[in-house]
Structures are given as C-alpha cells and as structure tokens.
Amino acid sequence: MPIFEARRAVSAKIVLVAACALVDADGRVLIAQRPQGKAMAGLWEFPGGKVEDGERPERSLIRELKEELGIAVSEACLAPLTFASHSYPDFHLLMPLYVCRRWEGTVTALEGQRLAWVKPNRLRDYEMPPADVPLIAHLMALL
C-alpha cells in the first residue's frame, strides 16, 4: 500500500452507529428500507442510528427506536451480539448490533420507511449496505 493511502486510511473519520435486531415472538427480525434521498436509498438495514457525541450506544438505540418506530425499549432488554467494522470511501463505520426481544408499543414506521419482519434465513433476500451483510450470519447462529 502506498504511504499516501496508508495515511489516508489512518485519518479516516470514524462514525459510530448503533443497530438493533428486534426479534418478535415468531423469531422474525425487523428490517427497514432506507428512504429515497438518503445515502444507500432503497437498501434494507437494521433499525438504529448515529451515536451522538457523549452518548452511549444503548442510549442512542433507545432514542432512535422511539423516534423511528414509536417503541419504548429498556436498556436492560438490549443484548449486545456482535459489531461491524467497515470502510466506506469517506469514513469508517463501527456498528455494534444489539438484539431486543421486548419493547413497549406497536412498531410503526414514523419516518415513512418501509418495514419488514423477516425470518433470519431470509435476510439475505434483502439487499443491505455492505456493513450490515456480515451481521446476518451472527443472527442466524443465534436464532
């Protein structure tokens, strides 16, 4: 690797995003389709979002799940499963994935996104961002 590329890789901006695999009583996982106008529009992903400065990933998920899906999640119900580490052209993504089987409220698409409850062995049927794809195997092993 040329020295310039090595330096650029070291100085890449690191973005921390927390994601959650909500699992219903039938063992299905919730995924959401990224809306038009956003990066990677049309791809499916696990709900969650960017962790704000000074915020812990668990608190970020609690906030994001309320904003995006209208559900209340307790931190005690978020179980860390694995994480993704993926380099995109402009940044490096670190994304812990939590599993949650209990929440209050009805899952509702509050931001106009499409939602789908999917059996773990069917997750690969949905096109996902590159960072999300390796997480599927961990969910399949768990569920």
- The CATH architecture to which 12-142 belongs is Alpha-Beta Complex (3.90)
Q: Is-contact 57 16, C-beta < 8 A?
A: yes
Residue 3 confidence (pLDDT) above 70: no
In order of 9, 40, 42, the CA distances from 15 in angstroms are 14, 16, 21
- According to the model, what pLDDT value does residue 36 have? 86
Q: Report pLDDT digits (tens) over 40-87.
A: 989 999 999 999 999 999 999 999 999 999 999 999 999 999 999 999
Q: Please report, for the chain, the start and end positions of each structural domain, with discontinuous segments joined by +.
A: 12-142
Q: Report pLDDT digits (tens) over 99-140.
A: 999 999 999 999 989 999 999 999 999 999 999 999 999 999
pTM comes to: 0.89
Q: In 36-51, which positions are buried (b, 16+ CB within 10 angstroms) versus exposed (e)?
A: eeeeeeebbbbbbbeb
* Run of H or E including 91: strand 91-100
Paired tokens of 51: 């962790």
Rounded to whole angstroms, the Cα distance separating 23 from 8 reads 39
Rounded to whole angstroms, the Cα distance separating 64 from 69 reads 8
